[in-house]
Chains A and B, each alone.
Chain A
Amino acid sequence: METIMDLRKSLDDKKVTSEELFKKSNTLAHKYQEEYNSFVTIIDDYKHVNSNSLIDGIPFAIKDNFSTKGILTTASSNILKDYVPVYDATAYKKLIESGGVLVGKTVLDELAMGGTGTTGHTGIVKNPWDKSRQIGGSSAGSASSVALGIVPFSIGSDTGDSIRKPASFGGIVGFKPTYGRISRYGLFAFASSLDHVGCFTRCVRDAAIVTDILKGKDERDMTSLPDENINYVDLLDNDIKGKKLFYIKELTDLNLYKDSGSETIEVLNKFKETIEKLKSIGFIIEEVSFDEKLLKAIYPAYMTISCAEATSNNSNLTGIPFGPRGEGDNINDIMFDARTKGFSELIKRRFILGSYILQRENQERLFKNAQRLRRIIVDKTNELFKTYDAMILPAGGGIAPKFDSEIDRMSPRYLMLENHLVIANFGGFPSITIPSGFVNNMPIAINITGRQFEDGLVLNIANKIEEQLGYKGIIKEEYDV
């Protein structure tokens, strides 16, 4: 499957035009829509602004929780089913001004609150490698549109693992840079202290290219980081000599997961094989212990913080200035009715949890303790980053789940192996997931997370690993599994 750089060359060599690329993407988007449901909206009109950037003339897709002026933006929720924004998100604006061509707005888990790709108001998103399986979420359609080969890259948001987990299930690259590296202006907020903008691509180099375009200080997002005038793509020199990585014992120890099924065992065995391969090319990789108790508390702390922040962020969804107007004789009843009808039960359950956490009598025990746990985890990780350049781990404990599968939510696999990617949201660490092989004919992945602000280092390490593992640009139709 062609990468951004492949397409750049074809465009520069005049072997193809931007409009032809768009038409191909548009045709594929329509072709796969009924089967996989990647999009809320497919754009049929070719619109292109000339630029001299690397993505000039190249098609892309963006998650439907980014504000796009004049284009329906629903966050995959009924409460925004007719909402047409009147301004552009900064990330989207930058892509358009850099010559990117919009192919569509992608389906997400409702309001980005979910990890399955099954809760959007327009239906479930399916995994291109096996239609009976999830692609994961919440950036489900952004992942599937790249995994299907419709677009070479797409934009997502990542609050817990919403880019990096679906990337792992789809055999593609998913990157979220340091918190604040990319402006969140115009991204519908879920949990502001954890929300990141990032991308899905077919290779690590493309993730660097897209991040180079998106990064930078934005006057409209006070948490955005100043641009350091670094081009990440220029830092990809593959020089990893002496680079030290660590993996966490409690997330890779077979003894802890012996009851998690053969798939998990295979994922962990393959991870160990990958580690040996990487040692052989010069990485120094060591095992460290992190404390099982702490790891098991990460997911509960994430749910606590994110649901609490979400209840406040979504209080603007009243159906009054925008959204379907509720019925009632007074303004309270109107809002009450709009919210009752507009949110699905799953969202309501998360909001109830947020409300519960924020009750005066629960704030200290639940909300504050979750925030304390967050500090312990981030401090501990930062301490490890004093010795090591990055952390390398399996992205999860298995392959993409079947739609009807269930997992024991108190199991070590669920609490630790399936949810550790949240560490990078707690600390705003740059974090990338890249394909690392197959289990039962489905892609698996590894995740590399590094120090805050050192996005270039993480990308460089990932680029070298990608080169060594050889799963760059895999797509089911072109790959014999």
Chain B
Amino acid sequence: MVTKEKLKDYAAKLMFDMDDEGYDRTLKEFETIEKHMALIGEIDNISEISPMTFPYEIYHASLREDKALECLTNEEVLSNAKDTKANQVKVPKVVG
């Protein structure tokens, strides 16, 4: 059973929060979501099927040559960061 507390926990695990009304609307939405999910469960013998994670099976992974491709410059990498120092992204101290 999905509850508002659980929804808050799911959101927190993905590192964001919502206002209370947002959680109410989400909880309401879950009534339909649960009904939708039940439609998958109705398929006969579904548990016997192997899950599909890619559109087709004849997939051959190929490794590219071990050579350097064009790389971004340090300046480019940092160009969108709001705070930088000594060629790095600056954040508050992580280790005390």
Contact = CB atoms under 8 A, between A and B. Distances in A.
Interface of A: 82-84, 86-87, 179, 193-194, 219-220, 222-223, 293-294, 296-297, 299-301, 303-304, 311, 315, 318-325, 328-332, 334-336, 339-340, 343, 345, 348-349, 351-356, 359, 365-366, 368-376, 378, 409-410, 415, 425-429, 452
Contacts of A366: 37, 40
B89 A320 contact: yes
Contact of B37 (A300, A328, A359, A452): A300
Interface residues of chain B: helix, strand, loop or mixed (majority): loop
Nearest to B18: A348
Interface string B30-70: 00110111011111001101111111100101101000010
Given A86-B79, A320-B89, 8 more contacts: A194-B55, A319-B82, A323-B80, A339-B15, A351-B11, A376-B43, A426-B52, A426-B55
B11 A219 contact: no
B49 A351 contact: no
Contact of A329 (B41, B51, B54, B92): B92
Interface residues of B, number: 52
Contacts of B56: 179, 378, 427-428, 452
B47 to A, nearest CB: 7
B16 A334 contact: no
Contact of A348 (B16, B54, B92): B16
A325 B83 contact: yes
Nearest to A179: B55
Contacts of B37: 300, 304, 365-366
B52 A374 contact: yes
The residue in B11, B72, B79 that gathers the most chain A C-beta atoms within 10 A of its C-beta is B11
Top 7 nearest A-B pairs (CB, nearest first) are A428-B55, A371-B51, A322-B80, A375-B52, A300-B36, A355-B10, A86-B76
A351 B13 CA distance: 10
A376 B92 contact: no
18 contacts: A179-B55, A219-B64, A219-B69, A320-B81, A321-B80, A331-B92, A351-B11, A353-B33, A355-B14, A356-B10, A359-B10, A369-B41, A372-B43, A372-B49, A375-B51, A376-B43, A378-B56, A428-B55
B11 A410 contact: no
Nearest to A368: B51
A345 B17 CA distance: 10
Nearest to A323: B80
A161 to B, nearest CB: 15
Contacts of A322: 80-81
A193 B54 contact: yes
A4 B91 CA distance: 49
A351 B80 contact: no
Nearest to A351: B14
Contacts of A84: 79-80
Nearest to B12: A336
A318 B43 CA distance: 39
Contacts of A348: 11, 16, 18, 22, 26
A410 B33 CA distance: 10
A336 B92 contact: no
A299 B36 contact: yes
